[in-house]
Structure 1
Amino acid sequence: MQQGLRQPRWLIFPALLLLSLPLLAADASDDIAFFSMSVGLLGGLAIFLFGMETMSDALKRVAGTKARNLLAKLTTNRFSGMLTGAGLTAVIQSSSVTTVLVVGFISAGLMSLPQAIGVIMGANIGTTMTAQIIAFKVTKAALGMVGVGFMMFFASKKENVQQYGNMIFGLGLIFLGMNLMSDAMAPLRSYEPFINLMAQMDNVLLAILIAAVFTALVQSSSATTGIVIVMAAQGFIPLETGIALSMGANIGTCVTAILAAIGKGREALQTSTVHVLFNVLGVVIWLPLISYLGQGSIAMSPAYPELDGVQRLAAEIPRQIANANTLFNVINTLIMLPFAGAFVWAVQKLIPPTPADKDAVTPITPKYINDDFLETPDIALEQTQLEVARLGRRVCRMLSQLPPLAPDAKTPAQLAKVRATFKEIEALEEEVDQLHVAILFHLGKLRRGPLSAEQSTRQITLVGMTDHLENIADLIINGLLPLSNKALNDQLSVSATMRQTLDTIQDMVNGLLLDCVNGIRRNDPDLARRAVEAKQELYTLLDAVLAHQALHLSDDQPNRLRVFRYEMEWGHILKNIYGMTNRIAKMQLQEG
C-alpha cells in the first residue's frame, strides 16, 4: 500500500490508546472484564479503520480518472465547484483526498485558488455521507458484505469488479468493526466509574479537542464520526457532546491538507489555509449554537417514543448526530460560499506570494506531477502524461528554433544572433534532461504500488515516450546543432534547390513532432495517426535529396564533398528524428 497521503502507520496506535483512555482510567478491581473489553474495543476499532481504508482505496481507484476530469471541468464557478467537491467526496468517501487533489492541481497550475474554495467547502458536505450510512444501522449485514466482497475480489479477473468487491469488503469490515466495538462496550452501560468519566465529556471544548487530535492521527473525519455514532448507540454520550465531537473531527481533518501543502508553492499553502479557516470558523460560529443545531437534528430525525431510558437514546441519538453533522456542514457551506472572495483576500494577506527575483536562475521543476497523486494511479498517470507533453514541447522548440544547415549569416550581428539561438537550444536541452529524470523517477515511484494491467501498460508506454523524446533532444544537440555550427564557421553555402528541399524536410519533421506532442497532451489519436501516415511523403523527400546529390556530386564547386557530407548527415538525422516520432505516435495509437 502506498503512503502518499497517510502519515506513518505507527500514529494509529496513539489514536487507539486515546480512544481507550476511559477504560484505562476505570477501576480494574470492579467486576468487569477489563482486558477482554479492551481487546474487543481496540480490535474492533482496528477492523473499522482498516475497512475505511480498504473502501476508500477501492473507491479512489474506481473513480480515479473521473475524479480528475470532474475537478478539471466542473469548477468553473464557486457553486459548481461546491457541488463537484460534495459529489466527488461522497463517492470516494474522503474529504482529505479531495483536498489533497485540489492542492496538487493548484501546484500544477490546473486550478486557481478561487475555483478551489468551492471544492473544499463542498468536500465537507460529501464526507457526511459516511456518517449517514453508518447511522442506518445495517450492521447485521456486515459478514454478508465481507463474504460477497471477498468473493468478488478473488473470483473475478476484471479490475473494476475486483475494486467494487474491495469496496463492499471494506464497507462490511466497517460494520463488523462497529459490531465488535459495540459488543465490547455494552457492559459499560452499567459501569459507574465509566459513566462518571463520560459525564465529564459534557465539556464541549474538551470534546472538540479530543476529536480533533484523534482525527489528525487517523486522518479520517469519517472514522471519528463513525466511532462517535457507535458510542452514541450505546447511550454513552448525549447529543450535544456527539455534535461537538463531530465538529472536532472537522478541524482534525485539516491536518492532511496542511501536510499536502508542505514543500509546495504559495498557492498550495493558501489552499490548505482556506481549508483550516473554513472548518475552524464554522466551529466557532456554531459553538454557542450547539443546542439549536441539536434541536434541528431532532426535528428531522425519527423518534422512538415506545422506548425509554438508555434504549431510546441508543436508538435516536446516532441518527440525530449524523443529521446534525450534515446540517452543520451544509449550512456552513451555504453561509460562507458567497464570501469565497473574502477567503481568497484573507489568505493572500496571511500568505502573500513570494516576490519574483528577476536575476535568479532557478532550475526547471515538474509542473503537473507530485507525490500527492500516487495513491490514485489513474490521476497520477494522467498528470504524468501532461508532464511528458510539457517535455515534448521543449523538444519541439529546440527543433523549430534550430537554424537551417549553412545559415545565411555574414555580418557580425547576424552571426551573433545565430550563436545566441544555439545557446537557447542548449538551455532547452538542459531543461529536457531535468524533466526526463523527474518523470522517470516519478513513474518509478508509481510502480512501487499496486497497478492494474492497464495502468502498468500505460506506465511502460509513458516511460518509452519520455525516453524517445529525450533521444530526439540528444539528436538535435549532438547532431544537428554541431553540423549547423560547423557549416557556419566554415562559411559553407548550399544550393537553392537543396536549401528548399532540406528546409521542407525540417519543417515537416518539426510539424509531425509537434502533432505527436499535442496528441499526447490532448489524448488525440488523430494527431498521432497523422504522424504515422506521413512516412511515405517524408521518405520521398529524402530520396529526392539523395537523387539530387547523385546528379551534382561531380560538380566543380568549392568544398563540394564537405557540403555533400553535411547535407547527407543532416537528412539522415532528420530521418532518425522522424523515426522516433513515428514510434511515439504508434505507442499512442496502441494505448488508445
Structure 2
Amino acid sequence: MIKSSLFFLLLGLLALGFWLSAEFKVIVAGVAVFLFGMLSLQRGFKFFTGGMLERIMRSATNNVLKRLLFGIVTTTLVQSSSLVSVLVISFISAGLLDLAAGIGIIYGANIGTTTGAWLVAGFGLKVDISNYAMPLLAFGVLLQLTRPKSFQGMGHILLGLGFLFLGIQYMKDGFDAFKESIDLSQYAMTGMRGLLLYVLVGIVVTVIIQASGATMVLIIAALATHQISYENALALAIGSNIGTTITAVIGAFGANIGGKRLAGAHVLFNVLTGLLAILFLRQFVFLVDLLCQGLDIANDNYTLKLAMFHTLFNLVGVIIMLPFSDLMARFLEKVMQEKRTAVDSPRFLNTSALQFPDTAVKSVQHETHHLYENATHIMLKAIGLHRRDVYSEQDLNEVIMKYRAIKDYDIDEAYERNVKGLYSAIIEFVSQARFSWEMKQSGRLYWLREANLKLVEAVKDTKHLQKNLLRHSGSYNRYLVDEYQRIRYQIALVIRELQKIKDTVVVNELPLLSLDTLKGRIKEQRQAAIETIENLIREHKISAEAGTSLLNDNAYVYDIQKNLLSMAETVFINHATASVQAEKEMVLTDHEMFEVIQSKAAIDHE
C-alpha cells in the first residue's frame, strides 16, 4: 500500500516537473536513458557468464586481496555494484561463499563503483560524447539481430555503452539549459547543517533512482554547470554512497539468512564510511587537494576533485574496516539469527541465484543434500533407529539388537514438516531456471530434479513398509522377526555406506566404484532374501500369507535402496572430474552386474 502510494506520488511529481520546466524534462530523460544503458550493459555481460563469472568468483576467494580485486574489477566492468551484490548474495545463500569472503568482495565493489565518476568527470564532460553514442547504438542493434549469442551479448554491451553516453550528454545539456532559467546554486548551504541536508538529499535521490552511478553522474553534471557548490557536491556524493545500500537490502529480500547478513554488512560499511567522511570532511578535502596537486589536476577542476573524493573516502573506509571483516561477520551472525519454523524451509534457494547458471546448480545441489539429511532421518526413525548410531563405527547388527522394539512414528507428519515443502521449493526453483538446454547446467538441473524425486519415492516406500514392520517385528514367530530385522539392517546399511561416500574427499578412494560395489551387494541381498523366504514357506516355518507380505516388503526395500543409490550417483559424485570419468569406464552396467551375480550363484551352488 505504502509502496504503491509512493510510486504514484513520484509519477505525479514527475508530471508536474515536466509541465513546469522543459529543462527538467531533459535531465530526467537523461537519467532514464542512463539507467536503461546500465541495464543493457548488465544484460550483455550475463550473456558471457555461462558459469564463467561464478567460477572466477570461486577462485577469487582464497585471500583478502583477491576478494577486493574481484569486487573492483567486476564492478568497474559492469558499472553496477548492485549486480555484484546480487551475485555475492546468491553465492552465500547457495553455501558457496562464507560471509567474511562476501564482505571482502563488497568492499571491492564499493571502490569499483567509483570508477564511473572518473570516466564522466575526466572524459564525458570534456567532449560531446553523444557523437560516440550513435555508432555504438547502431552497431549494438545490428549485433542483436544476429544468431550467435556472443554477438547478441556484445550487442547489448554496445547498446548499454551508447545509452550511458547519451544519458550523460542529456543530463549535461539539461543542466546547461537549466541554469539559464533557474540558478540552483543560490540554494547552496554551508556548515554542518548544509552538509547533513545535502547528504540526506543524496540518499533520497539514490533510493529513488536505485543506482548510485546515475546519482553521481547527476551530481557531476550539476557541479560542472555550477548549479551546486563543490562543498554540497561532496555531501551529495556521501549521501549517494549510503543510499545505494537500499538496493542491497531489496536484493536480500528473497535470500536466506546468509544473504540478509551480507546486506547488513553492506549497510554497516556504507553507513560507517559515510559517517567517517562527514566527521573528517576537512581532512579529506585537504588530502584530495594534495593528491590532485601531485597528479597535475587543476585546482578549479572540481569535477575531477569530486571523483577523487568519492574514491578516497571509500578506499579509506576499506583500509580501516577490512581487518575487522571476520569480527563483523561474527557480529552479524550473532545479531541476525535464523528463525526456527515448525516446517523446514529451504536454506540455499533464492531468486538471485537464478541469474547465474552455475550458482543455480550449486544451490539445488546443496538443497538436495539438505533434503537427503531430512529424508534419511525420517526413514531411520520409521524403522526404529537413530542416525547417530547408524553413522557410528558400531556393528550394525548390534545396533539392530539394541533397538529391537520399534516405536510407532508418524511418518506422514514428518513428511509434511521436513520433506514436502523442501521438495516443492526445489521443483519450483528448477522450473524457474530457464537456461538454454544447450548449456550443461540445464542437464545437471534435470538430473538433480530426478534425484530429489528418488528421495521422495524412497520416503514413501518406507511408509508402505512401516505398517508390516510394526506388526511383525514383535511377532512370536522368530523366523518372521529375523526377516524383518534383516530388512532394517539392509536399509541402515545402505544409508551408512552412502554417508561414507558422501563424506569421501580423497579421490583415490574411488567413490563411484564403492557405489558400484554397493549395487552388487543389494542385488545379492535381494536374491538371497527371496530364496530364504521361499524356503521358510516351503518348510512351513512361516505362513504363505506372511511370506507374501515379506516378499512385497523386500520389494519395497529394494526400491528404497535403488532410489537412494540413484540419488547418490547424481548428487554425491562429481561427474566432471577426470578420475570419475575413468571410473565410469570401469563400472558395470546392470546387465553385466546380473551376469556376475548369476555366475557367482552358480559357482556357490557347485
Same fold (TM over 0.5): yes
Is 1:155–2:146 an aligned residue pair?
Answer: yes
Q: In structure 2, what is the equivalent of residue 31 of structure 1?
A: none
Q: In structure 1, what is the equivalent of residue 209 of structure 2?
A: 218
Write out aligned runs for 1:68-87 (5 A): 68=54, 74-75=60-61, 81-87=67-73
- The CA distance in 1 between the partners of 2:495 and 2:412, in whole Å, is 14
**Which amino acid in structure 1 is aligned with residue 467 of structure 2?**
P
- The CA distance in 2 between the partners of 1:254 and 1:522, in whole Å, is 42
Cα displacement string for residues 147-200 of structure 1 (whole angstroms, at most 9, x for unaligned residues) = 333333331333x553343233222221122223333443345x1633544756
Shift of 1:49: 0.5
Cα displacement string for residues 217-248 of structure 1 (whole angstroms, at most 9, x for unaligned residues) = 22221221233334445454454443332221
Q: TM-score, normalised by structure 2?
A: 0.73
Which of 523, 526, 547 in structure 2 is aligned with 1:542?
526
Q: In structure 2, what is the equivalent of residue 432 of structure 1?
A: 419
Which of 115, 118, 123 in structure 2 is aligned with 1:132?
118
Shift of 1:539: 3.4
Q: Is the 8 A contact 2:491 2:561 kept in 1?
A: no
Is 1:174–2:164 an aligned residue pair?
Answer: yes
Write out aligned runs for 1:7-18 (5 A): 11=7, 14=10
Q: In structure 2, what is the equivalent of residue 280 of structure 1?
A: 271
Shift of 1:296: 4.2
Cα displacement string for residues 284-303 of structure 1 (whole angstroms, at most 9, x for unaligned residues) = 32233253254145336564
- The CA distance in 2 between the partners of 1:55 and 1:67, in whole Å, is 15
Shift of 1:470: 1.2
Q: Is the 8 A contact 1:501 1:541 kept in 2?
A: no
- The CA distance in 2 between the partners of 1:303 and 1:548, in whole Å, is 92
Q: In structure 1, what is the equivalent of residue 246 of structure 2?
A: 255
- The CA distance in 1 between the partners of 2:476 and 2:132, in whole Å, is 85
Which of 46, 63, 78 in structure 1 is aligned with 2:32?
46
Structure 1 stretch displaced more, 329-338 or 494-503: 494-503
Write out aligned runs for 1:387-536 (5 A): 387-399=367-379, 403=383, 414=403, 418-419=406-407, 422=409, 427=414, 430-446=417-433, 453-454=438-439, 456-477=442-463, 479-494=464-479, 506=491, 509-510=494-495, 531=515, 535=519
**Which amino acid in structure 1 is aligned with residue 429 of structure 2?**
H
**Which amino acid in structure 1 is aligned with residue 166 of structure 2?**
L
- The CA distance in 2 between the partners of 1:538 and 1:382, in whole Å, is 30
Cα displacement string for residues 463-511 of structure 1 (whole angstroms, at most 9, x for unaligned residues) = 333223212211112x222232122143443489978986775466446
- The CA distance in 1 between the partners of 2:161 and 2:265, in whole Å, is 31
Structure 1 stretch displaced more, 333-342 or 43-52: 333-342
Shift of 1:533: 8.1
Gap runs ≥5 in structure 1: 1-6, 26-33, 306-312
Which of 115, 120, 132 in structure 2 is aligned with 1:141?
132
Cα displacement string for residues 248-294 of structure 1 (whole angstroms, at most 9, x for unaligned residues) = 11010111233345587777655444433322232232233253254
Aligned residue pair count: 551
Write out aligned runs for 1:351-366 (5 A): 351=335, 353=337, 362-366=342-346
- The CA distance in 2 between the partners of 1:256 and 1:317, in whole Å, is 28
Q: Is the 8 A contact 1:11 1:217 kept in 2?
A: no
Cα displacement string for residues 335-356 of structure 1 (whole angstroms, at most 9, x for unaligned residues) = 232344665687689x4758x9
- The CA distance in 1 between the partners of 2:468 and 2:33, in whole Å, is 67
Q: In structure 2, what is the equivalent of residue 299 of structure 1?
A: 293
Structure 1 stretch displaced more, 53-62 or 199-208: 199-208
- The CA distance in 2 between the partners of 1:83 and 1:220, in whole Å, is 22
Structure 1 stretch displaced more, 326-335 or 9-18: 9-18
**Which amino acid in structure 2 is aligned with residue 163 of structure 1?**
G
Shift of 1:125: 1.1
Q: Is the 8 A contact 2:364 2:426 kept in 1?
A: yes
Which of 230, 237, 240 in structure 2 is aligned with 1:246?
237
Change (3 A) 1:340 1:490: same
**Which amino acid in structure 2 is aligned with residue 337 of structure 1?**
L
Q: Is the 8 A contact 2:487 2:557 kept in 1?
A: no
Q: In structure 2, what is the equivalent of residue 59 of structure 1?
A: 45
Q: TM-score, normalised by structure 1?
A: 0.75
**Which amino acid in structure 2 is aligned with residue 193 of structure 1?**
I
**Which amino acid in structure 2 is aligned with residue 223 of structure 1?**
A
Is 1:94–2:92 an aligned residue pair?
Answer: no
Q: In structure 2, what is the equivalent of residue 3 of structure 1?
A: none
Q: Is the 8 A contact 1:63 1:92 kept in 2?
A: no
**Which amino acid in structure 2 is aligned with residue 366 of structure 1?**
P
Change (3 A) 1:155 1:508: farther
- The CA distance in 2 between the partners of 1:340 and 1:463, in whole Å, is 37
Q: In structure 2, what is the equivalent of residue 187 of structure 1?
A: 177
Q: Is the 8 A contact 2:365 2:448 kept in 1?
A: yes
Which of 303, 314, 320 in structure 2 is aligned with 1:335?
320
Q: Is the 8 A contact 2:537 2:543 kept in 1?
A: yes
SS at 1:418's partner residue? coil
Q: Is the 8 A contact 2:256 2:348 kept in 1?
A: no
- The CA distance in 1 between the partners of 2:437 and 2:190, in whole Å, is 47
SS at 1:259's partner residue? helix
SS at 2:372's partner residue? helix
Cα displacement string for residues 35-63 of structure 1 (whole angstroms, at most 9, x for unaligned residues) = 3x444333222111011122224435644
Shift of 1:364: 1.3
Change (3 A) 1:256 1:19: farther
Q: Is the 8 A contact 1:531 1:581 kept in 2?
A: no
Is 1:556–2:540 an aligned residue pair?
Answer: yes
Shift of 1:549: 4.2
SS at 1:167's partner residue? helix
Identity across matched positions, percent: 24
- The CA distance in 2 between the partners of 1:452 and 1:41, in whole Å, is 43
